[in-house]
Amino acid sequence: MARFSLAHWRKFSNETIIESLRAGKGESLKVKSDGRILNGNVRCKILLERNFDINALERETID
């Protein structure tokens, strides 16, 4: 399944992916307090492949 998700999101620009991860969105970047990604891992992987600093992304922390 991940390969389909990767293929899907690789079609989008960094700006579109970043916007989709913004806090308050339905599929925002959600992480545990220890840094584990709960939602948005595929999109973060793609940004990492493109040498984007994902540590700068806005995120929602869930304990």
**pLDDT exceeds cutoff 80 at 61:** yes
Using a cut of 0.75, tell me whether the model's pTM lies above it.
Answer: yes
pLDDT given for residue 1 in this prediction: 58
Domain extent for 22: 2-61
Q: What's the domain count of the chain?
A: 1
Q: pLDDT tens digit string along 1-58?
A: 588 999 999 999 999 999 999 999 889 999 999 999 999 999 999 999 999 999 999 9
How many residues are present in the chain? 63
